Chain A
């Protein structure tokens, strides 16, 4: 029968022992990692290629994934970053004038497995109630084996994944928001970006704000950094536990003393907080979606933001050197901070959006306003 699926079935085993069967899509691979859920209804390509999803299996709550295929312009890194995806339905046919390939082909090309026709709403509820948990997605293991694999996963805590996903070599970035390279601007200030798993969109926004952008690896030393004479330094988003990235804290502390404008996004925001003496904690199931309301505490204005984080800055023992500038209207977590004596700010959500609402781009504008054009050319 035409409608009878010829695709093999695969299973998802949760560390709590629950098993979900579905249709295997994408690559035939077994993957073990942290299972999280995402509630955005568009932007699967941006999500799957965001390095922050390293070691994560993503449950998409949206009804159908793959409707517009994959295109050349919307990748947030050079490759698929998520371990795998669990969805309700894969589009039968993808169409869009920018489409260059179908999601299923992309998954295969990127060795990424997926599971479709799963009650993802139920999965979301399980994760909401029991917290993000380890899981194993497999087409080959038995239920018992898969559960065992899931239970053996080391977890996110103390897991330094930023180092793992960061670029090996420094590089210059010139592409703006329209995807076109910007010609050399002699007086443009230089922003050095610590790649902790950076999304291309952050780099594009920095170019858009008039920066020359240089991306450096995770292990770039303070000396190497200062030798670049940065006008501003950005600590990017990225995966894993911020507390595991302790070697970056002295660098941040030095920049604060030197009064070099500093922007931390997501993981970078958490690192800024840690450097200033705050603590971070693992959230039960995190924030992953494109509808998160964040209130600017000064203006009371609400920004609808794109979010993807499993750790947050702790309200307990919050240092006096920092001011909280934004809070989540979902759970009141700290969403934005500013240093009281240095030109440094951190934003927990994604001002670069991609996917999601773009109104938090004001963060980039604010940051750029602190940076003067270079005088030395």
Chain B
């Protein structure tokens, strides 16, 4: 059956900003789908406000709209572009919800847009718990007993029926937002209230608990001829009760005999049919009772998902691509399996001869006071996947790949025996899983806790525990050994289990270099095997590879072409997200276009960079010194690109140079010069450029000894900046000696830093990002970006204006000149990002990043400047020339000159068609107990960017795209500003008055405004009963809290107020600059007008 010829234009919806539960797996899916659809000759219109994605790049879709995913915006796009069909299955829950909303608003019918991939009834039946339950009943499958509740009374009725524990799942949310497990009345009340407010239709599912059952997922594809294939089975090592996104999972399933597995397979296919997913991919989750094999269906997603991205990477079967092609009418036998070069069709089920393990990455340290126990609501921000020939190997590789500075199963406790205290502690950690349970499990094995006890506490299948025990036993067997006494067979056994060189060196108490030398001498080297989807039954034509010590033959053949190894950025995390993957993907494309053989090394299954056809070879491996040198020793690349993948590869730069590899672009020496705070500060001083006053603390314990009497040479407030961090990790604002002491003691305890730099905090300063390309010949500034949030808020969290709107041409020239001076002095080659603060009309240099920065994709989208590509050209231009590389270098130089000669510096400020606003999105609603303060440590998970004819319009659209609900009129505003903001608050308050806002203020702010003739209601702080501030917030009489606090995150009262605001869903502004921008939106009534305006301002690439 051929593809459909009645369709011409297809609308694809992206998933919007990266949030917990919806990450870059949908960029990966969307890119595959768009490529497939365009390859078939369709015109593809894409709407996605996420600027960091590959999918929104020019040239991929036919037309791209960086627009909010709202019915109004989408309707205007549909009216203009006239798509024949909408493919809603590539953009996660967000896109499905959008499709439903468009259908319900009559838009799809009005413009004759057909839903393809999944129809309305299928989406409804899969998403609506009640309909789903009925459907399962029709095909004889069980689901947990459950009931939909629309009120607390209905919840209580269910509880009386089902007992405790109960699982609560709000309807229509993603990543299980707001869900939880209640063991008692109090938690039940709390979870349900939150669930009702988060649910789109104010309902929650109250469900009998399947806690402790084993969880399995099947990934399916189905075509219109009813051919249905299971692409992959995934087993969750963590039992039901931990969200699958937070679980350690393996593929294929390991603990079901064939009979039970086929039962799930049959059920999954029956579900696909009854739900009515006629074409495309889906995911079905099952719970299996380990005692008697009873099966319950947990849920079904009628779309591609995080799990389908994992399944695609685990098997080599491109689910999103195939699903897109099925949606336009192809059947599976008509489509080729790329892995085998089309030798077989896509109508088959992949079979694996390795095991894939995925482990989640958590960042609870960024959300102090958040509950770190895992439950039905997803809390992880990224994942690391690894492929191995046994579970021990793949698990250890996956854990090492988390990039959390661990070498394997790190010990959590120092106890040497399993005394009663230790046992009780371990029992608790095993029974109530937190982010580090896997390590506690290893500790329990180390101390001799019986496997049966561990299995009973964790509900983890004993097979997994026994496989983990092998690692522990190997480690214990090394006691008293030296590396000289190990035989070749010993080495093989140890490395087969995935023991890292670092871990072995620790166990054998030897320098790692000596250990590595000994290993190599024994001939113990990694083998690189292919992922081929068919267990070698057919010859593979793609080079999707993994390393293993459990092999005896080599499948990767190094070419002798000019070759570059690109190091990716590893798991997504706050501060190092999709932007870096974007850069690596562009590097691969640019380098291949120049004629290099490109090797990509990365281990994040959600990404485009780990798609099998992006590079000449994909090494799906963690980014560590051991793995990088393992590959590099084997492949012998001409250079390694470490500056595009964020801090993960950058940290390896020096080591790689040390062992003789060339880095592409900026040398490790120059990187160190920029990253080492002291050296950078000296360099800036030597150039006579301004920087905040600073003090380096080289020896923290010594410094603490002389504090508080002496030692500190700066006035408060201060910003503390450790070296070599991304996303402002461990950066804080400090206002008192006590806080400083506390902070420094914290650093000592974490053992993460030996030195720290203190800067004067330039309060209220405006921050600017300057982006430059540095070539051997010139330093070309390509963009200047202005922040809306004041300096002190991390640039990843701050709202930004592209291009900067409030600079004179003299100021602009000043920034350009300073950047040029800095670039030359640093010896940067390639990309350079410099951050400046404008404080009392002077520019201060805050930091320089000689690497790809978060701003690279923003600049590409706003100014149509392919910064990542230009950076690659610049770096290649500066490569050491050999006979092999020389023609490629010349080509890069020529291309670069051609592009740069056309860049007109005078255009930096004036982009004719639009102003862009980038806005960050935060995961605060996932962590109800935390303080949503914005400071120097980045806490946003993703971002959106929208254009407007004016700044206000762009800002308003960005708010919508970020799904920020501004407070409804009439505004009930509580003002409480810091000493520093006293001047600014008067104007702001007057503007608020003009809008008819009811103003409340805390004591100082109230007094100040009174003098300026602005009437506010005084609210009482502390324990006073009358009109108490806390009560006011708790009772939701306030819908906008404007709270600026000098004292950062430590102030107890501001801290408490922000927590309440977060918990109660009260709109919060933590800077006047930002609040004013929001006010402008009300004044301009942009909220009402944007839809009309968007037609003329959306950017079409």
Residue of B nearest to A44 (CB): B258
Stretch at the interface among B342-350, B399-407, B568-576, B729-737: B342-350
Decide yes or no whether A54 CB sits under 8 A from chain B. Answer: no
Q: How large is the interface on A (under 10, 10 to 19, 20 to 34, 35 or more residues)?
A: 35 or more
State in angstroms the CA–CA spacing of A357 and B496 once bound together: 32
| 28 residue pairs from A and B, CB less than 8 Å apart | A2-B476, A3-B470, A39-B351, A39-B353, A39-B534, A40-B258, A40-B351, A41-B252, A41-B352, A42-B253, A42-B261, A62-B351, A64-B355, A89-B390, A92-B466, A92-B467, A93-B465, A96-B257, A98-B257, A98-B293, A117-B496, A117-B550, A128-B536, A290-B258, A291-B534, A300-B331, A354-B258, A359-B269
Q: In the complex, which of the residues A68, A73, A117, A330 contacts B255, with contact meaning CB atoms closer than 8 Å?
A: A68
Per-residue interface assignment for chain A, residues 343 to 357, with 1 indicating a CB less than 8 Å from any chain B CB and 0 otherwise:
000000000011111
State in angstroms the CA–CA spacing of A20 and B551 once bound together: 12
Decide yes or no whether B776 CB sits under 8 A from chain A. Answer: no
Contact B537 A128 (CB under 8 A): yes
Residue of B nearest to A42 (CB): B258
State in angstroms the CA–CA spacing of A96 and B469 once bound together: 19
Residues of chain B within 8 A (CB-CB) of A289 are: 351, 535, 537
Per-residue interface assignment for chain A, residues 319 to 335, with 1 indicating a CB less than 8 Å from any chain B CB and 0 otherwise:
00000000001100000
Residues of chain B within 8 A (CB-CB) of A98 are: 257, 293
Per-residue interface assignment for chain B, residues 323 to 346, with 1 indicating a CB less than 8 Å from any chain A CB and 0 otherwise:
000000001110000000000110
Decide yes or no whether B291 CB sits under 8 A from chain A. Answer: yes
Decide yes or no whether B753 CB sits under 8 A from chain A. Answer: no
Residues of chain A within 8 A (CB-CB) of B481 are: 1
Residues of chain B within 8 A (CB-CB) of A94 are: 463
Decide yes or no whether A293 CB sits under 8 A from chain B. Answer: yes
Decide yes or no whether B1013 CB sits under 8 A from chain A. Answer: no
Decide yes or no whether A120 CB sits under 8 A from chain B. Answer: yes
Per-residue interface assignment for chain A, residues 71 to 97, with 1 indicating a CB less than 8 Å from any chain B CB and 0 otherwise:
101100000000000001101111111
Decide yes or no whether B1059 CB sits under 8 A from chain A. Answer: no
Per-residue interface assignment for chain A, residues 296 to 319, with 1 indicating a CB less than 8 Å from any chain B CB and 0 otherwise:
000011101000000000000000
State in angstroms the CA–CA spacing of A238 and B116 once bound together: 47
What is the interface of chain A mostly: helix, strand, loop, or mixed? loop
Stretch at the interface among B225-233, B277-285, B631-639, B1082-1090: B225-233
State in angstroms the CA–CA spacing of A93 and B254 once bound together: 12
Between A355, A356, A357, the greatest number of chain B beta carbons within 10 A of the residue's beta carbon is seen for A357
B508 CB → nearest A CB, Å: 13
Decide yes or no whether A180 CB sits under 8 A from chain B. Answer: no
CB under 8 Å from chain A, chain B span 224-279: 225-227, 229-230, 252-259, 261-262, 265-266, 269
Contact B535 A39 (CB under 8 A): yes
Contact A356 B347 (CB under 8 A): no
Decide yes or no whether B529 CB sits under 8 A from chain A. Answer: yes
Decide yes or no whether B927 CB sits under 8 A from chain A. Answer: no
CB under 8 Å from chain B, chain A span 32-51: 37, 39-43, 45-46
State in angstroms the CA–CA spacing of A301 and B489 once bound together: 50
The verdict on A304 contacting B229 (CB below 8 Å), with A2-B477, A67-B463 known, is: yes
CB under 8 Å from chain B, chain A span 76-127: 88-89, 91-98, 117-122, 124-125
Between B253, B258, B391, the greatest number of chain A beta carbons within 10 A of the residue's beta carbon is seen for B258
Contact A119 B333 (CB under 8 A): no
Contact B333 A121 (CB under 8 A): no
State in angstroms the CA–CA spacing of A290 and B257 once bound together: 14
Residue of B nearest to A291 (CB): B349
B183 CB → nearest A CB, Å: 26
Residues of chain B within 8 A (CB-CB) of A293 are: 333, 344-345, 347-348
Contact B333 A124 (CB under 8 A): no
State in angstroms the CA–CA spacing of A41 and B539 once bound together: 19
In the A-B complex, list the 4 residue pairs whose CB atoms are closest, starting with the nearest: A43-B258, A93-B466, A355-B258, A1-B477
Contact A292 B348 (CB under 8 A): yes
Decide yes or no whether A159 CB sits under 8 A from chain B. Answer: no
Per-residue interface assignment for chain A, residues 1 to 37, with 1 indicating a CB less than 8 Å from any chain B CB and 0 otherwise:
1111100000000000000100000000000000001
Residues of chain A within 8 A (CB-CB) of B345 are: 293, 329
Decide yes or no whether A228 CB sits under 8 A from chain B. Answer: no
The verdict on A329 contacting B493 (CB below 8 Å), with A2-B476, A119-B552, A119-B553 known, is: no
Decide yes or no whether B292 CB sits under 8 A from chain A. Answer: yes
Q: In the complex, which of the residues B351, B489, B553 contacts A290, with contact meaning CB atoms closer than 8 Å?
A: B351
CB under 8 Å from chain A, chain B span 468-514: 469-470, 473-474, 476-478, 481, 489-490, 493-494, 496-497
How many interface contacts (CB-CB < 8 Å) are there between A and B? 190
Contact A124 B353 (CB under 8 A): yes
Decide yes or no whether B462 CB sits under 8 A from chain A. Answer: yes
A20 CB → nearest B CB, Å: 8
Q: In the complex, which of the residues B255, B467, B550 contacts A96, with contact meaning CB atoms closer than 8 Å?
A: B255
Residue of A nearest to B356 (CB): A63
Residues of chain A within 8 A (CB-CB) of B253 are: 42
Instruction: A97-B293, A289-B535 are known; give 17 further A-B pairs, CB within 8 A.
Output: A1-B481, A2-B477, A40-B351, A41-B351, A41-B352, A43-B257, A68-B255, A92-B467, A95-B462, A122-B553, A128-B536, A291-B349, A295-B347, A300-B331, A329-B347, A354-B258, A356-B262
State in angstroms the CA–CA spacing of A92 and B104 once bound together: 55
Residue of A nearest to B350 (CB): A291
Per-residue interface assignment for chain B, residues 312 to 332, with 1 indicating a CB less than 8 Å from any chain A CB and 0 otherwise:
000000000000000000011
Contact B257 A42 (CB under 8 A): yes
State in angstroms the CA–CA spacing of A88 and B394 once bound together: 14
Contact B333 A64 (CB under 8 A): no
Decide yes or no whether B389 CB sits under 8 A from chain A. Answer: yes
CB under 8 Å from chain B, chain A span 354-372: 354-359
The verdict on A95 contacting B461 (CB below 8 Å), with A74-B257, A88-B353 known, is: yes
Decide yes or no whether A212 CB sits under 8 A from chain B. Answer: no
State in angstroms the CA–CA spacing of A37 and B332 once bound together: 26
Contact B259 A73 (CB under 8 A): yes
Residues of chain B within 8 A (CB-CB) of A356 are: 258, 262
Decide yes or no whether B290 CB sits under 8 A from chain A. Answer: yes
Decide yes or no whether A280 CB sits under 8 A from chain B. Answer: no
State in angstroms the CA–CA spacing of A355 and B254 once bound together: 15
State in angstroms the CA–CA spacing of A71 and B308 once bound together: 33
State in angstroms the CA–CA spacing of A263 and B440 once bound together: 57
Contact A121 B355 (CB under 8 A): no
Residues of chain A within 8 A (CB-CB) of B538 are: 128, 330
Decide yes or no whether B544 CB sits under 8 A from chain A. Answer: no
Residue of A nearest to B331 (CB): A300
Residues of chain A within 8 A (CB-CB) of B227 are: 301-302
Residues of chain B within 8 A (CB-CB) of A355 are: 258, 262
B322 CB → nearest A CB, Å: 14
Residues of chain B within 8 A (CB-CB) of A56 are: none
Decide yes or no whether B580 CB sits under 8 A from chain A. Answer: no
State in angstroms the CA–CA spacing of A20 and B226 once bound together: 44
Decide yes or no whether A166 CB sits under 8 A from chain B. Answer: no
Residue of B nearest to A71 (CB): B257
Contact A88 B474 (CB under 8 A): no
Per-residue interface assignment for chain B, residues 526 to 546, with 1 indicating a CB less than 8 Å from any chain A CB and 0 otherwise:
000100001111110000000
State in angstroms the CA–CA spacing of A301 and B227 once bound together: 6
Between B348, B451, B469, B529, the greatest number of chain A beta carbons within 10 A of the residue's beta carbon is seen for B348
Contact A3 B332 (CB under 8 A): no
Decide yes or no whether B354 CB sits under 8 A from chain A. Answer: yes
A25 CB → nearest B CB, Å: 15
Contact A97 B290 (CB under 8 A): yes
Residue of A nearest to B552 (CB): A119
Q: In the complex, which of the residues B258, B333, B350, B497 contacts A329, with contact meaning CB atoms closer than 8 Å?
A: B333
The verdict on A42 contacting B256 (CB below 8 Å), with A64-B355, A289-B351 known, is: yes
The verdict on A330 contacting B344 (CB below 8 Å), with A93-B466, A96-B257 known, is: yes
Between A45, A98, A330, the greatest number of chain B beta carbons within 10 A of the residue's beta carbon is seen for A330
Residues of chain B within 8 A (CB-CB) of A61 are: 351, 353, 535-537
Between A41, A88, A289, the greatest number of chain B beta carbons within 10 A of the residue's beta carbon is seen for A41
State in angstroms the CA–CA spacing of A358 and B461 once bound together: 26
The verdict on A304 contacting B391 (CB below 8 Å), with A42-B261, A128-B537 known, is: no
Residues of chain A within 8 A (CB-CB) of B477 are: 1-4
